[in-house]
Amino acid sequence: MAAMLFLVTASPVRAGYEEGLAAYQRGDFVTAASEFLPLARDGDVRAQRNLGYLYEKGKGVPQDHLEAVSWYRRAADTGDAKAQFNLAIMYFNGEGVVRNYRQAATWLRKAADQGHTKAQNSLGTMASTGRGVLTDVVEAHKWFTLASESGDKSATYALRRLVRRMTPDQIDRARRMARKWLDERDR
């Protein structure tokens, strides 16, 4: 699993954020980091997440996984699904933190519950293998289904493989769980 690049959001942009994003897009990572840092310190969640990414990859700043985790956690604690996913990957890989599959699963669940497709797929993988969570093919099927319906091709492939290990009753329960999740999210 690899960390996700940050994405442009449609929310209002503070001075500095646009400049930081533009600098990042043209490959000027030093300027991007210098634009994001004051915003991140002021609590701008997007800037926190993006600064975490820059520290994780060593773009425009020295690579520092501890610092990346710190910035991801700040954004993740506010409920930012992308930061939650990135923090989960840091825990999964043991980068900047002690490897901890349970913590990875916890953060993945928070992101997956918000509809983060890669987190859903990753949670499906963890549930199907028992890494960080109890092995549960029904739960795995639910997460793979949700990710697959959002267009994740690897989730579609994993789902096809998983159903070979499942009974018709398990498949039916998993489909009901996925429908219920979607219904609750759409309310």
| Whether residue 84 sits in one domain with residue 60 | yes
Q: Is the pTM of this model over 0.75?
A: yes
| Whether residue 164 sits in one domain with residue 82 | no
| Whether residue 179 sits in one domain with residue 120 | yes
Flag whether 106 is in a domain.
Answer: no
Q: What is the pLDDT of residue 3?
A: 46
Flag whether 107 is in a domain.
Answer: no
CA distance 21 to 79: 21
| Whether residue 41 sits in one domain with residue 123 | no
Flag whether 72 is in a domain.
Answer: yes
Q: What is the pLDDT of residue 187?
A: 76
Flag whether 144 is in a domain.
Answer: yes
Flag whether 73 is in a domain.
Answer: yes
CA distance 27 to 85: 24
Q: What is the pLDDT of residue 15?
A: 57
Residue span of the structural domain in which 138 resides? 115-187
Q: What is the pLDDT of residue 163?
A: 96
| Whether residue 89 sits in one domain with residue 1 | yes
Flag whether 49 is in a domain.
Answer: yes
pLDDT (tens, 9 = 90+) of the chain, 187 residues, equals: 444 444 444 344 445 899 999 999 999 999 999 999 999 999 999 999 999 999 999 999 999 999 999 999 999 999 999 999 999 999 999 999 999 999 999 999 999 999 999 999 999 999 999 998 999 999 999 999 999 999 999 999 999 999 999 999 999 999 999 999 998 887 7
| Whether residue 88 sits in one domain with residue 2 | yes
Flag whether 109 is in a domain.
Answer: no
Asked if 19 contacts 34 with a C-beta cutoff of 8 angstroms, the reply is no
Structural domain total, the chain:
2
Q: What is the pLDDT of residue 37?
A: 96
